[in-house]
Amino acid sequence: MTLLSYKVCYPKAMYMTRGNHEAKNLNKMYGFEGEVKHKYDLKTYDLFASCFCYLPIAHCINKKILIVHGGLYSKDGVKLEDIAKIDRVREPPDEGIMCETLWSDPMDENGRQPSKRGVGVQFGPDVSQRFLDDNNLKLLVRSHEVKNDGYAYQKGGRVLTVFSAPNYCDQMANKGAFIRFNGADLEPKITTFMAVEHPKIPPMAYSTGWNI
């Protein structure tokens, strides 16, 4: 609600990117659907679900830094134009560019491997370099993975993971982080932080488990 309010107030300064959890099956599994129904009602949840389908799956800062939630692709040759052409107003499919943008992860070994998640792919520094060079980009910024320090670079330094939830699920003891970019040089300025006390609601309190 707060993020959507910022978007209304500052439409040219606030940009939200869709992640793999902005999908009905994961909303049910991990508790977002249950929490919204508990605190509001089904109509409110349906509005969230509709809103999620309109979120962009990528943003490009000053034509040099690409922001996605997950990562890159199972094949070379994907262009920014291909991402822009995706029909994103739907539930994410189980394969293809949209799916991989939301689900893929970097690895430090060259090449590609099947993802341990069962969806998307793992991609190496060589894959990242080819994609970024082909699209005249400087850096890929993504999230999707807990990192102990709140952030981590893929080997080669051209993919930066940032994770803003400290002490994930109240058990990972990780820091959170966020990034600032100055338009003049587009160098990432990373700030890390620790978790603070929150309401006494256990993790996954509203989850329905795997009953999807």
Catalytic site positions = 21
Residue 141: beta bridge partners? Answer: 67, 160
How, if at all, do strands 159-162 and 139-142 pair? Answer: parallel
∠ Cα 48 56 163 (to 5°): 85
Say how far apart CA 80 and CA 56 lie, in whole Å: 13
Beta partners for residue 180, in sequence order: 189
Per DSSP, helices labelled H in 17-95 are 24-30, 32-39, 42-54, 80-84
Separation of alpha carbons 56 and 53, rounded Å: 8
Give the bridge partners for 171, in sequence order: none
Contact indicator for 92, 20 with CB cutoff of 8 Å: yes
Strand partners, 152: 161
Residue type, 107: M
Half-sphere CA count of 69, side-chain side, radius 13 A: 20
